[in-house]
């Protein structure tokens, strides 16, 4: 049933700072299938946002996409000329960013900013684009679309801004929507509404969605498949159900233990010892090894490759080799 | 716009005490200066009785606060008093020279904006590349250049050696304007370019610019519409706030080039301790500053729908 | 010449010329031709022609154009106003506006011709003189000049008698023959108000004010009603060769100098020290030289210990190497040891001889005088000291007197050689004058310039008139003899010789030098008279020959250069092709 | 939270940054000239020798001589002392005034903040040269006067930046904690807030210093600053301006040195800003 729409292979994105090279994404591979919600999970700073920006080729100075392939419907996005890539952005792959406060241009109206994308991609006259904008504002369930279209972002609440953002991004009906922590910056009460809206749109338009989050709860509720990232690397991929039932990688296990899931009352939530490894000088071998309770001698020497750990499951850990 | 008008009116109200304060301060300071203006302007062949007579006829035997009160009351009617040295109305002296200063400073401002901002944007877009280094290197160079020295060197090369332009004065029309204006403009272009670059870099790193890219907009649209429009807000506000600084620079440039503007008038009047003229010039400058500040605020309010009431400038 | 270069290349080239290249060549030739024609037309104007405008560059803008409202006069006043009498080159008093004037010690009778008129057409009468003098008395800072005037009697419409309170030469020498005493149209002044009159005064000089562009220049136009009785000018009426005189204010020395070299001004006043030698050898420039009737000196505060000790003041006089100063100033000054200048009324060469013998350059003598006064260098730091205190003074230097400003540090090192430390403070001259009057100084660089010593020295050296720190009753008495009396020239000379001796003994000043004033004039300006004592310009007979080849405008030369450059670029470009 | 990064790390990153390294080199050269002036300069700065006046640059007189026969090279070398001293002094006074007021304004909101901000805005809006001219008119010409005048008119740069920074810090946990344990206001400002401002203060200082040098030399050029024979670069330049035609070297060399010095500090300051506080707007 699964036709891949996007597959990322061996992606490496490094940032060249005067203090050293930050290997934010260091050999990441995964596949997003059509009509599914794929989750990229990990702690803050693990490289999941950089991965999504690399897919869109929105990496800024001083970052550079070093190597890898990003196959979208069979085309390697990293090899496309910039002009072709522009046609992909917004039209084929759209992206909702995490901070609605800052992701909307303060000096233009909402309608203006939404209308821009159809104007660019479909070459429609501005009056029609404006109508489209109002239509999409209605679709994201904002009251008074006509009035809202003329508002500047700063008069809107966080939730309303994120709705405008979503409207802006789906206005060209993309095939893949990347949502980078779409609900982190809004009130808890709004979070669920927004998530429902996204899923509803996804369902109605038969889009694929790549959800980037640090929130395992959210993954459990919405995700079809998930990849867990740690320090610029994918450590585990599998269906959400599988991962939650039986996490393979010690890091995933650690994360699970931090969660108060369902009714399984634990006496205490566990904590993963140590701190996130530095992406500038990552430890030799497995990057999780210094914090890992199961670390063996080999872990400190060789990096474990991502290998099959079951049906449709992959894990990067020496425990599951042999 | 009604709100904007109210806002402007409020700003003007705040401006008035500023002008009063500045001129009063100056008035008091001037009275502390050692030296008797009447004696200073009178020549050698003058007796003490004659000086006392003159002092009385100038009203300088009155207490300071009365002098200030008279002065301010007269200023309200457009009368700035008479110069001690030339015995002419100060308003005449100032108005005769204001056009020259504007002729010099206004093009300098416009040019610094017209050339400086694009240079800054080019440098910002090519961050870390050679054009960034070249643009910023050159602008750092001019930014570090004392204006009087730049003026002298331009004079030496284009006035004395090449004889392309008159060396100084204002009597050869546009040709006399070229060198002083260049002297004025180059450091300000450099200054604007630096600011524009900083602001542009700041804006280019903003999330909303990334959003614009993510929408698949062409780069010209992203840069010129989304980024530049935002970067221009602080740059433009700073542009208005810099006007008084340009007038400060005018003192030096006008003195170097014998340009008959307000700056050289101020310089000369300070040397001669010609208080009424100093007062007049400073009053005009204070008014200009207040106007610039208000204009800056209003412009920023117009450009920025969020209406930053307190524009950043540092 | 660009064209020939190009032609030779086009016609020797064997390669075919494309349309674009042809178009470029045509454009270049056309532009070149226009520029060439422009250049040619500008150099081939008729040769015998007079320039109708005379341009004079002066260093400083006048305070005011009304002579009765200024503390110093300049070239504009000399042209706009007409002295009642004037000086000839021998310093004799000769008629100017007045047909004649008689001075008998207690009164001055002034005769005007019947058709004498102000530039606005109002008649110049005895009454006008009386009104003008009355206005001067109340308005001018020098109004006290007329303290010795009892009244102005109107003898008839064109004859006035100025009756003095006592026998005195003061008004006769210090007002009648100088521009301050020139008649102004007091009625017109009353009509427009003094401020307005200051911008556009009415006098009877050869030119009248057309326009004053503040900070830049004054434009004068010919006064067609002008008439003079000056014996040394041939043309006694308006100068029909010169319609306008433009007086430009150019404070920067470099600029003023460059303007005359470039021929953009005809006459430069206040030629800077560095330029004198160069201009003297310039074939296009004639230099007029005159000695200022005044001295540049250091005034000493005699009320401030230890400067009240005459030995220290004398030590200063010995310590100054006036020849070194004159050399540093490129010979533009005359070393001076006394209190008067050779161009003064009442000066004699024996004054300077006495001064030179009294205070030759002698640092050893200076040191021994200091030692005598108890100042020796006990701690070997090069500065003499007494009771642990080094001998140190502040010296105010006028920032607007280029010669004194220039030698300030030199004086400092000359004084350092005899063990006196001097710290320089630069101020505007007017400020220094004010501070010295208030005795608020130690040493101050000063100067004066006035032709009659009786009109200036009492204000500087008399204990009451000037109220400076010097006071010597004997000197006061002698000064009063001339200031309040009516001495003839030999008596005057004898008097000032006596005074010179007293001044040298008391040493209230350190005289430094007498300025040579230079006026640089383009050779094209003919018939100019430059007269003592203030090197006044008389342009009644002057005419300006228009130069044969006009200056090329900078834009034209820029264009020419561009054409040349384009041609060269094209030629070199073609060479690379083949 | 901004904390002063270790000296070693900052230096290391400066060295990697090409332009700021150049700036550092220039600044060090000027410092060496200033400190070693008496060794480097072949003659005294006030030594007159009129016989050898107005000589062009040569092996004996590297930069030529002036109207009084003084060795221009020696004067310029000694001038480095004055430029540096003046720059440092002005910057120090400015920082002292500006930082104090800035912290106070940021820490106490309300009337204190309003009053300080109003004064700051007023002084900031006024052209420093004009204000400095006013101050010099009152207290007379001289280098000290100029230092006071410039410092008295340019401190608002510090105030504004410190105020903004303090405002962003004042509700942070560590400040609240300090207040909770009963630290006094002055102690919070000095021990908790000030250290956090240090990087910004350092950057602002480095960028304010060259403009202080430019302003003082400008006032000396106008004749209100250093008194002769002080070898202030601006004063030498002013003397040379009169000889621009016959001895252009007198005006050229001091100008070159002013530009180089200011450029050095500006480059260094830009580098420091990039390293320590990239968001700083100055």
Specify if B111 maps to a domain: yes
Which residues in chain C have Cβ-Cβ distances shorter than 8 Å to B56?
none
Specify if A78 maps to a domain: yes
pLDDT confidence of residue C300: 97
pLDDT confidence of residue C9: 45
Specify if A239 maps to a domain: yes
CB B247 within 8 A of CB B86: no
Minimum mean pLDDT among A246-260, B12-26, B180-194: which range? B12-26
Specify if B267 maps to a domain: yes
Specify if B14 maps to a domain: no
B162 and B216 part of one domain: yes
Which residues in chain B have Cβ-Cβ distances shorter than 8 Å to A108?
226, 229
pLDDT confidence of residue B291: 82
pLDDT confidence of residue D70: 95
Instruction: Choose from B128, B211, B236 for mutation: most chain A CBs within 10 A.
Output: B211
Q: Give CA–CA dist A317/A182, Å, rounded.
A: 30
B200 and B179 part of one domain: yes
Interhelix angle B130-143/B90-125, rounded to 10 degrees, is: 160
Which residues in chain A have Cβ-Cβ distances shorter than 8 Å to B210?
53, 58, 97, 103
CATH of the domain at B159: 1.10.3720.10
B102 and B159 part of one domain: yes
CB count, 10 Å around CB of B61? 10
Specify if B258 maps to a domain: yes
Specify if A129 maps to a domain: no
CB A104 within 8 A of CB A130: no
Specify if B29 maps to a domain: no
**How many helices and strands in chain A, by DSSP H and E?**
10, 12
Band of pLDDT at residue B1, cut at 50, 70 and 90 = very low
- Shortest distance, CA D39 to any CA of chain B (angstroms): 28
CA proximity to A285, closest of A271, A301, A297: A301
B153 and B257 part of one domain: yes
Domains of chain D, CATH where assigned: 9-50+57-276 (1.10.3720.10)
pLDDT confidence of residue B169: 74
CA proximity to B245, closest of B187, B159, B299: B187
Q: Which residue of D has its CA nearest to A17?
A: D13
| pLDDT tens readout for residues D69-127 | 999 999 999 999 999 999 999 999 999 999 999 999 999 888 999 889 888 877 877 77
Which residues in chain A have Cβ-Cβ distances shorter than 8 Å to D13?
18-19
Of B39, B45, B100, the CB nearest to C459: B45
B53 and B152 part of one domain: no
CA proximity to D7, closest of D272, D282, D212, D274: D272
Which residues in chain A have Cβ-Cβ distances shorter than 8 Å to B306?
106, 152, 154
Of B205, B212, B216, the CB nearest to A105: B212
- Quick check: D259 and B149 CB within 8 A? yes
ipTM above 0.90?
Answer: no
Q: What is the separation, in whole angstroms, between the first and last Cα of chain B?
A: 29
Q: Which residue of C has its CA nearest to D52?
A: C328
Specify if B188 maps to a domain: yes
B198 shares contact with chain C (CB less than 8 Å): no
Which range marks the domain in which residue B51 is found?
35-79
- Quick check: A19 and D17 CB within 8 A? no
Specify if A263 maps to a domain: yes
Q: Give CA–CA dist A61/A45, Å, rounded.
A: 18
Of B128, B212, B226, the CB nearest to A62: B128
Last residue of a domain, one of B50, B79, B108: B79
Residue entry with tokens 């320590």: D276
Touch criterion met for C and A (3+ Cβ pairs within 8 Å):
no
B70 and B182 part of one domain: no
Beta strands in C336-465 (DSSP E): 385-386, 389-390, 392-398, 421-427, 443-447
CB count, 10 Å around CB of B312? 13
pLDDT confidence of residue C561: 60
Q: Which residues neighbour C331 within 8 Å (Cβ) at sequence distance 6 or greater?
A: C276, C277
Of A61, A106, A116, the CB nearest to B215: A116
Higher pLDDT, A296 or D66: D66
Number of domains forming the structure of chain B = 2
B183 and B159 part of one domain: yes
Higher pLDDT, C473 or B241: C473
CATH of the domain at A225: 3.40.50.300
Band of pLDDT at residue D276, cut at 50, 70 and 90 = confident
Q: Give CA–CA dist B68/B124, Å, rounded.
A: 51
Number of domains forming the structure of chain A = 1
pLDDT confidence of residue D83: 95
- Quick check: D242 and C426 CB within 8 A? no
Which residues in chain B have Cβ-Cβ distances shorter than 8 Å to D115?
none
Q: Which residues neighbour C258 within 8 Å (Cβ) at sequence distance 6 or greater?
A: B159, B160, B167, D245
CB B147 within 8 A of CB D218: yes
In tens digits, chain A (322 residues) has pLDDT values of 578 899 999 999 998 876 678 888 988 999 999 989 999 998 888 888 899 999 999 888 778 899 999 999 989 999 999 899 999 998 999 999 888 888 899 889 999 999 998 898 988 898 999 999 999 999 888 889 999 999 889 888 888 998 999 999 888 889 999 999 888 777 888 888 888 888 988 888 888 999 999 888 888 888 999 999 988 889 999 999 998 888 889 888 888 877 665 545 555 556 677 777 777 777 888 888 888 888 888 888 888 888 887 778 889 888 887 5
Specify if A108 maps to a domain: no
Token pair listed for C308: 């009240």
B181 and B274 part of one domain: yes
Which range marks the domain in which residue A220 is found?
4-82+214-320
Spell out the SS3 assignment of C315-365. HHHHHCCHHHHHHHCCCCEEECCCCCCCCCCCCCHHHHHHHHHHCCCCHHH
Q: Which residue of C has its CA nearest to B82?
A: C195
Band of pLDDT at residue D24, cut at 50, 70 and 90 = very high
Regarding beta strands C244-249 and C53-58, do their DSSP bridges make them parallel or antiparallel, or are they unpaired?
parallel
B48 and B122 part of one domain: no
Q: Give CA–CA dist A228/A212, Å, rounded.
A: 10
Specify if B204 maps to a domain: yes
B47, pLDDT greater than 90: no
pLDDT confidence of residue A268: 55
**pTM for the full model?**
0.83
pLDDT confidence of residue B271: 81
D2, pLDDT greater than 60: no
The mean predicted confidence, pLDDT, of chain D is: 88
Q: With a cut of 50, list the residues of chain C below it in pLDDT.
A: 1-14, 45-46, 571-572, 574-578
B70 and B100 part of one domain: no
B172 and B217 part of one domain: yes
Last residue of a domain, one of B27, B44, B79: B79
Residue B230 sits at φ, ψ, to 5 deg, of: -75, -40
| pLDDT tens readout for residues D154-181 | 898 899 899 988 988 888 888 888 888 8
Specify if B20 maps to a domain: no
B112 and B243 part of one domain: yes
> Region B18-44: what's the mean pLDDT?
75
Regarding beta strands C244-249 and C217-222, do their DSSP bridges make them parallel or antiparallel, or are they unpaired?
antiparallel
- Shortest distance, CA C276 to any CA of chain D (angstroms): 12
Token pair listed for C515: 């300025």
pLDDT confidence of residue A287: 86
- Quick check: B282 and D130 CB within 8 A? yes
* CA angle centred on C235, ends C230 and C238, rounded to 5°: 100
């Amino acid at each position: 049933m699964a036709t891949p729409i996007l597959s990322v292979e061996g992606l490496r994105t490094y940032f060249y700072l005067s203090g050293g090279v930050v290997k934010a994404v260091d050999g990441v591979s995964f596949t997003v299938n059509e009509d599914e919600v794929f989750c990229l999970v990990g702690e803050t700073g693990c490289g999941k946002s950089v991965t999504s920006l690399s897919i869109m080729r929105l990496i800024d100075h001083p970052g550079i996409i070093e190597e890898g392939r990003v196959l979208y419907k069979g085309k390697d996005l990293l090899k496309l000329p910039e002009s072709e890539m522009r046609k992909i952005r917004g039209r084929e792959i759209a992206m909702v960013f995490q901070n609605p406060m800052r992701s909307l241009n303060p000096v233009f109206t909402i309608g203006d900013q939404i209308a821009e994308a159809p104007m660019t991609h479909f070459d429609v006259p501005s009056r029609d684009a404006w109508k489209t904008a109002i239509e999409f504002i209605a679709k994201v369930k904002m009251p008074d679309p006509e009035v809202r279209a003329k508002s500047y972002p700063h008069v809107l609440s966080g939730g309303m801004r994120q709705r405008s953002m979503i409207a802006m991004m789906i206005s060209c009906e993309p095939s893949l929507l990347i949502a980078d922590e779409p609900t982190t910056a809004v009130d808890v009460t709004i979070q669920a509404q927004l998530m429902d809206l996204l899923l509803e749109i996804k369902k109605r338009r038969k889009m694929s969605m790549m959800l980037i989050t640090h929130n395992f709860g959210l993954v459990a509720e919405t995700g079809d498949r998930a990849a867990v990232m740690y320090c610029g690397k994918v450590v585990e991929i599998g269906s959400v159900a599988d991962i939650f039932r039986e996490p393979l990688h010690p890091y995933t296990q650690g994360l699970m233990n931090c969660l108060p899931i369902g009714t399984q009352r634990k006496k205490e939530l566990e904590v993963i010892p140590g701190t996130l490894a530095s992406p500038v000088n990552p430890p030799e071998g497995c990057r999780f090894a210094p914090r890992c309770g199961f670390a063996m001698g080999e872990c400190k020497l060789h990096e474990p490759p991502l290998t099959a750990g079951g049906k449709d499951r992959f894990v990067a850990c020496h425990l599951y080799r042999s | 716009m009604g709100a904007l008008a109210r806002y402007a009116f409020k700003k003007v109200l705040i401006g008035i005490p500023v002008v009063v304060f500045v001129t009063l301060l100056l008035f008091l300071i001037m009275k502390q200066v050692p030296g008797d203006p009447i004696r200073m302007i009178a020549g050698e062949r003058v007796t003490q009785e004659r000086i006392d007579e003159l002092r009385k006829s100038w009203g300088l035997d009155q207490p300071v606060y009365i002098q200030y009160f008279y002065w301010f009351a007269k200023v309200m009617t457009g009368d700035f008093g008479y110069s001690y040295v030339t015995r002419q109305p100060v308003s005449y002296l100032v108005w005769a020279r204001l056009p020259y200063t504007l002729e010099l400073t206004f093009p300098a401002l416009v040019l610094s904006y017209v050339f400086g901002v694009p240079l800054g944007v080019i440098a910002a877009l090519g961050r870390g590349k050679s054009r960034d280094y070249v643009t910023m290197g050159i602008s750092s160079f001019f930014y570090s250049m004392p204006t009087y020295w730049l003026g002298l060197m331009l004079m030496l090369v284009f006035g004395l050696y090449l004889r392309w332009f008159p060396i100084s004065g204002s009597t050869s029309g546009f040709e006399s304007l070229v060198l002083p204006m260049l002297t004025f403009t180059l450091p300000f272009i450099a200054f604007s370019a630096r600011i524009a670059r900083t602001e542009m870099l700041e804006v280019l790193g903003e999330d909303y610019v990334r959003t614009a890219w993510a929408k698949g907009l062409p780069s010209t649209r992203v840069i010129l519409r989304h980024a530049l429009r935002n970067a221009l807000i602080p740059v433009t506000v700073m542009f208005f706030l810099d006007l008084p600084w340009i007038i400060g620079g005018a003192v030096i440039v006008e003195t170097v080039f014998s340009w008959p503007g307000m700056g050289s008038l101020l310089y000369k009047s300070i040397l001669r301790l010609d208080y009424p003229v100093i007062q007049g010039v400073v009053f005009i400058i204070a008014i200009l500053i207040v106007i610039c500040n208000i204009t800056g605020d209003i412009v920023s309010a117009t450009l920025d729908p969020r209406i930053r009431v307190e524009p950043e400038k540092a | 010449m660009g064209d020939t270069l190009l032609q030779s290349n086009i016609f020797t080239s064997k390669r075919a010329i494309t349309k674009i290249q042809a178009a470029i060549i045509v454009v270049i030739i056309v532009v070149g031709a226009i520029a060439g024609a422009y250049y040619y037309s500008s150099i081939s104007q008729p040769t015998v022609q007079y320039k109708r405008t005379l341009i004079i560059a002066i260093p400083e803008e006048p305070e005011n154009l009304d002579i009765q409202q200024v503390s110093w006069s300049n070239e504009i006043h000399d042209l706009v106003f007409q002295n009642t009498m004037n000086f000839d080159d021998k310093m004799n008093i000769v008629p100017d506006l007045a047909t004649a004037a008689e001075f008998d010690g207690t009164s001055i009778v002034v005769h005007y011709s019947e058709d004498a008129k102000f530039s606005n057409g109002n008649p110049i009468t005895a009454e006008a003189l009386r009104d003008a003098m009355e206005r001067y008395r109340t308005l001018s800072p020098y109004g006290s000049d007329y303290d010795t005037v009892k009244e102005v009697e109107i003898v008839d419409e064109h004859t006035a008698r100025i009756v003095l309170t006592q026998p005195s030469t003061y008004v006769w020498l210090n007002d009648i023959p100088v521009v301050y005493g020139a008649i102004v149209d007091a009625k017109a002044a009353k009509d427009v108000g003094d401020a307005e009159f200051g911008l556009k005064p009415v006098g009877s000089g050869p030119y009248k004010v057309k326009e004053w562009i503040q900070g830049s220049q004054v434009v004068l136009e010919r006064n067609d009603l002008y008439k003079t009785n000056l014996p040394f000018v041939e043309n006694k009426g308006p100068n029909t060769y010169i319609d306008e005189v433009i007086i430009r204010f150019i404070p920067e020395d470099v600029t003023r100098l460059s303007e005359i070299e470039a021929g953009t001004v005809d006459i430069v006043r206040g030629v800077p020290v560095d330029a004198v030698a160069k201009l003297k050898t310039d074939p296009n420039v004639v230099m007029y030289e005159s000695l200022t009737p005044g001295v540049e000196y250091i005034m000493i505060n005699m009320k401030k210990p230890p400067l009240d000790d005459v030995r220290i003041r004398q030590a200063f006089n010995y310590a100054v190497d006036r020849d070194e100063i004159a050399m540093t100033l490129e010979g533009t000054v005359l070393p001076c040891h006394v209190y008067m200048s050779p161009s003064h009324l009442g000066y004699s060469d024996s004054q300077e001889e006495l001064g030179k013998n009294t205070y030759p350059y002698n640092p050893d003598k200076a040191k021994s005088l200091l030692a005598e006064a108890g100042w020796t260098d006990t701690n070997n730091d090069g500065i003499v000291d007494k009771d642990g205190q080094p001998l140190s003074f502040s010296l105010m230097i006028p920032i607007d007197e280029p010669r004194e400003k220039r030698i300030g540090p030199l004086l400092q090192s000359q004084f350092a050689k005899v063990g006196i430390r001097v710290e320089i403070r630069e101020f505007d001259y007017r400020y220094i004058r004010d501070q010295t009057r208030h005795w608020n100084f130690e040493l101050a660089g000063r100067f004066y310039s006035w032709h009659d010593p009786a009109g200036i020295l009492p204000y500087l050296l008399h204990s009451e008139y000037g109220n400076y720190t010097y006071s010597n009753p004997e000197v006061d008495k002698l000064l009063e003899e001339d200031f309040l009396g009516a001495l003839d020239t030999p008596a005057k000379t004898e008097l000032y010789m006596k005074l010179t001796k007293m001044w040298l003994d008391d040493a209230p000043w350190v005289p430094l030098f007498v300025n040579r004033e230079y006026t640089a004039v383009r050779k094209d300006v003919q018939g100019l008279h430059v007269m003592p004592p203030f090197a006044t310009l008389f342009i009644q007979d002057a005419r300006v020959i228009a130069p044969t080849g006009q200056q090329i405008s900078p834009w034209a030369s820029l264009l020419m250069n561009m054409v040349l450059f384009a041609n060269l670029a094209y030629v070199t470009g073609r060479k690379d092709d083949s | 939270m901004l904390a002063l990064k270790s000296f070693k790390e900052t230096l290391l990153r400066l060295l990697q940054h090409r332009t700021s390294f150049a700036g550092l080199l220039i600044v060090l050269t000027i410092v060496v000239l200033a400190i070693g002036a008496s060794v480097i300069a072949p003659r005294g700065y006030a030594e007159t020798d009129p016989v050898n006046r107005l000589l062009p640059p040569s092996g004996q007189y590297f930069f030529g001589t002036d109207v009084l026969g003084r060795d221009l090279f020696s004067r310029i070398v000694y001038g480095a002392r004055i430029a540096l001293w003046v720059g440092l002094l002005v910057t120090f006074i400015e920082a002292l005034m500006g930082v104090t007021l800035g912290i106070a304004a940021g820490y106490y909101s309300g009337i204190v903040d309003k009053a300080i901000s109003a004064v700051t805005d007023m002084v900031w809006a006024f052209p420093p040269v004009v204000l400095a001219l006013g101050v010099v008119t009152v207290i007379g010409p001289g280098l000290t006067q100029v230092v006071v005048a410039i410092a008295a008119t340019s401190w608002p740069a510090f105030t504004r930046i410190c105020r903004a920074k303090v405002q962003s810090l004042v509700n942070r946990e560590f400040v609240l904690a300090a207040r909770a344990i009963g630290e006094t206001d002055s102690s919070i400002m000095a021990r908790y807030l000030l250290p956090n401002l240090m990087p910004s203060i350092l950057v602002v200082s480095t960028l304010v210093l060259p403009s202080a040098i430019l302003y003082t030399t400008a006032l000396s050029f106008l004749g209100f600053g250093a008194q002769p024979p002080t070898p202030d670069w601006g004063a030498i330049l002013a003397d040379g301006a009169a000889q621009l035609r016959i001895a252009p070297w007198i005006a050229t060399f001091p100008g070159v040195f002013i530009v180089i010095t200011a450029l050095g500090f500006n480059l260094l300051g830009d580098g420091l800003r990039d390293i320590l506080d990239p968001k700083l707007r100055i």
